[in-house]
């Protein structure tokens, strides 16, 4: 009798736990990259630091000599916000049109990604989120790099 009760209790407990468990699994979706990065304030801070690093980077800063930097920063925030699942709309040019006149090389691109990675390290963005952000930006490379 004792055994029967405990088996019944166990079965009851399982039945009770099952729907809850399933519900938890179904709703336990990972937060967007936008949220995990810390939303608009964190993305704005990262873009500020990133652009400052690019401006100080002699390998590529010449390319930005005629650029409206506040506008570039605003567009980068929009682009990253939109691309990571945030509530933004990117209002700038497409990547091909924006970079067509700049003769950007593979090395230029690598230098910029290095500046971004250093920035993300400074803000202690975990490797997983860094990789996800790079994965959002990397496919743009073929539209941006136009010279060997």
Interface residues with ligand HEM (CB under 6 A) are 60, 63-64, 67, 72, 75-76, 79, 92-93, 98-99, 102, 104, 108-109, 112, 137, 140, 144
Please, which residue, 64 or 123, has the CB nearer to ligand HEM?
Answer: 64
DSSP β-bridge partners for residue 105: 147
- Cα three-residue angle 83-85-89, rounded to 5 degrees: 60
Q: How far is the CB of 23 from ligand HEM (least distance, A)?
A: 39
Q: How far is the CB of 70 from ligand HEM (least distance, A)?
A: 12
86 close to 32: Cβ distance less than 8 angstroms: yes
Position of minimal CB gap to ligand HEM: 92
Q: How far is the CB of 80 from ligand HEM (least distance, A)?
A: 8
Phi, psi of 90 (to 5 degrees): -80, 125
Measured over the CA atoms of residue 122, residue 123, residue 126 and residue 129, the dihedral's sign is negative
């Amino acid at each position: 009798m004792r055994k029967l009760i405990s088996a019944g209790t166990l079965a009851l407990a399982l039945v009770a736990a099952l729907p809850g468990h399933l519900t938890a699994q179904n709703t336990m979706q990972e937060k967007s990259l936008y949220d995990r990065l810390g939303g608009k304030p964190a993305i704005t801070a990262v873009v500020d630091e990133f652009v400052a690093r690019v401006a100080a980077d002699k390998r590529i800063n010449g390319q930005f000599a005629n650029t409206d930097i506040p506008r570039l920063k605003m567009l980068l925030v929009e682009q990253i916000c939109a691309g990571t699942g945030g509530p933004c709309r990117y209002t700038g040019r497409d990547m091909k049109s924006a970079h067509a006149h700049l003769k950007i090389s593979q090395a230029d691109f690598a230098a910029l990604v290095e500046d971004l990675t250093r920035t993300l390290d400074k803000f202690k963005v975990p490797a997983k989120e860094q990789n996800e952000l790079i994965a959002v930006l990397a496919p743009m490379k073929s539209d941006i790099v136009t010279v060997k």
